[in-house]
Structure 1
Amino acid sequence: MFNNSSKILFIFILMMSTMITISSNSWMGAWMGLEINLLSFIPLMSDNNLMSNEASLKYFLTQALASSILLFSTILFMYQNNFMMQINETNYVNMMILSTLLMKSGTAPFHFWFPNVMEGLNWMNSLILMTWQKIGPLMLISYLLIKFMLFWCILLSVIIGSLGGLNQTSLRKLMTFSSINHLGWMLMSMYSNEALWITYFMFYTFMSFNLIFLFNMFKMFHINQLFSLFMFNKTFKFSLFLNFLSLGGLPPFLGFIPKWLTIQYLTFNNQLFMLTIMIIMTLLTLFFYLRLCYTAFMLNYYENNWNFNILWNNFMINLYLIFSFFSTFGLFIISIMYYLI
């Protein structure tokens, strides 16, 4: 529908609108940044495809609903607090603002739109929705840390994100529920330390990009398509499924580092009940990742003895293997750098 130059322009506006949101000193300015962000992402979602058009319509209606409630709450907030960002846990206006921000980020129990929208997008738009589109709402949520409401959303996010992925065959929905689970961890890290959630978000973005880079390259959208990759080189096969385990936070992979830091802060703050539930639910996410990896890790699995040397000379494959190396051995590399410094 749009040429490449138009898409580049929309991506530039998308990035600038997020900068407006996170640098704003009033809720009205933040609302304007979120609106520009929404209007710049809708053209990127729309293709000459029925599913993508349906997904863009669902995304627009949901975000428009959240934006209207946010604007109404912002007007009330301005009259009450004299245009300043202040926190009051007993104020229902603050709770309304926090609810709309949680809906925009796709956090449970406001996640009803997230899996359906993701199912209709291509992988590049899915990556933007899972990563960049969460920066603005999460930054605004960090200004309104209402304890009791945030804790319930964290519990529901880690539970729904874990249980929702158990019966999925679509890779996009699998990544969606994984994103909801990681959102719970990010919100918990945000409550523990203001800078920790940014570190968690950066690690999560890298791991998601690493997997979606491969899915987009081979146009894979369902679990059964993964097994066709078993005919490739064993190094490529193991790197693919180790990235799944890294995304699940299994040590000693790179994805364990942000969870490790969050567990450490929760232990110091005596949040043991929340920590126990989050770790148990994360074990469930590792279960459906291991369900994918189990067959690939079996030594006696049948493989076709075909030659794919032409494919292995591809620059994109080599680039993916470099990213996969850092995702797999990142914990060792960071540990060595820490001791050397």
Structure 2
Amino acid sequence: MKANLSKIMFMNTFMVGIMMSISSNNWILIWCGLEISMISFIPLMVSKKIISAESSIKYFIVQSVSSSLLMLGMLIMIMKGGYNYDYMVKSSLLMKMGVAPFHNWILTVIEGLKPHMMFIMLTINKVAPITIMSYMLSSMILLICLNALMASIMSINQNSVKKLLTYSSIMNMSFVLIIIKLNLMWTVYFLLYSILLLMMTILMINFKIIYMNQIIMTNNKMSSNILIWMIMLSMGGMPPLVGFSIKYMVLQVMINTKMYLTLSIMILASLIMMMVYLRLTFISMMNSSLSLKLVSYNMKYSSTMMLIMNFSLIPMIFLMKLLN
């Protein structure tokens, strides 16, 4: 297979733009880095699907509006007037991340993307806005609670796996925003969640999963079904999987800072999201025949590694103690 040099170049400039935004101490250079990453990401979105062109245009329009809002906030900041530029800058960054209530665009864009591009948009593409958001001083408790509840409630009625993963990403951004002042902790949370999302993306590509009923009615081996269920339960935060350990890390910080009301709302939102994954898992198990359940199976090396990573709760508990 020939290497697509254009895509390699655009991917390199995309990463350069993100690194430029993260490492700059100048607002103009931060804005330039965001623009470079945006322009580089749009050609990567284009595929043979007709809807991919529509997704690219929507992504360009939304990112252009958010960049204009960011530039306007920066100009007001330079003018040093009596205006509250903080809300403008924060709104533009939240729009770039696709966090509620600015999340509707990402649901329409994600449908026209391939699974690997969906993974990049939900993980790598959010690194620069999150890092810039950590520089802001104002609190976002109300917005975080709204984001978590809206994402968890809207995920109940979804049939598309892409949209479910998008709502899961939006909900997990609430946990990231709570600990955004603790650089090491939000980096660990975001990294581990990205690994779980990468596992799910690989399974989507291998088994050609697009809709929920394909997971339920699949004729895959029992080992493959168990792997899908384990990763989905880990993303939902089922103990003793690794997805629970990173959420427990955030909840412990919230208890130490006495954010009890926010803690209750976040737990409620997580339980709603967990209900969606458990419902899907139980229906899949019910549809599996008894003979298929009793059959012994041989797991591949990659499947074994994914399960081991999900079950690695004990090292994560030690890591949480070190971070505290």
Q: Distance in 1 between matches of 2:168 and 2:318?
A: 29
Deviations 1:281-322, CA, capped at 9 Å, x for gaps: 100000110111003344x832787xxxxxx89xxx632442
In the alignment, what sits opposite 1:308? none
Q: Is the 8 A contact 1:210 1:320 kept in 2?
A: no
Q: Distance in 2 between matches of 1:105 and 1:337?
A: 27
Q: Is the 8 A contact 1:55 1:120 kept in 2?
A: yes
| Displacement of 1:3 | 6.3
- Tell me: CA distance 1:117–1:145, structure 2 relative to 1, closer, same or farther (3 Å): farther
Quick one: which of 200, 215, 224 aligns to 2:204? 215
Q: Indicate whether 1:152 and 2:142 are aligned.
A: yes
Q: Tell me the number of residue pairs that the alignment of Structure 1 and Structure 2 aligns.
A: 318
In the alignment, what sits opposite 1:98? 90
In the alignment, what sits opposite 1:331? 313
| Displacement of 1:135 | 0.1
- Tell me: CA distance 1:142–1:337, structure 2 relative to 1, closer, same or farther (3 Å): closer
TM-score by length of 2: 0.91
Q: SS of 2:155's equivalent?
A: coil
**Over the residues paired in the alignment, what is the CA RMSD in angstroms?**
2.5
| Displacement of 1:232 | 2.9
Q: SS of 1:120's equivalent?
A: coil
After TM superposition, list the pairs within 5 Å mapping 1:251-262 onto structure 2: 251-262=239-250
Q: Distance in 1 between matches of 2:177 and 2:283?
A: 34
- Tell me: CA distance 1:169–1:176, structure 2 relative to 1, closer, same or farther (3 Å): same
In the alignment, what sits opposite 2:187? 198
Q: Distance in 2 between matches of 1:152 and 1:91?
A: 22
Q: Is the 8 A contact 2:147 2:174 kept in 1?
A: yes
In the alignment, what sits opposite 1:129? 121
- Tell me: CA distance 1:208–1:284, structure 2 relative to 1, closer, same or farther (3 Å): same
List structure 1 runs of 4+ shifted beyond 3 angstroms.
Answer: 332-339
Q: Distance in 2 between matches of 1:303 and 1:337?
A: 40
Quick one: which of 100, 110, 114 aligns to 1:118? 110
After TM superposition, list the pairs within 5 Å mapping 1:49-198 onto structure 2: 49-80=49-80, 92-147=84-139, 150-191=140-181, 193-198=182-187
Deviations 1:236-276, CA, capped at 9 Å, x for gaps: 21121011010011111001121111111110100000000
5+ unaligned residues in a row in structure 1: which ranges? 82-89, 306-311
Q: Distance in 2 between matches of 1:137 and 1:286?
A: 27
Q: SS of 1:164's equivalent?
A: helix
Q: Is the 8 A contact 1:67 1:100 kept in 2?
A: yes
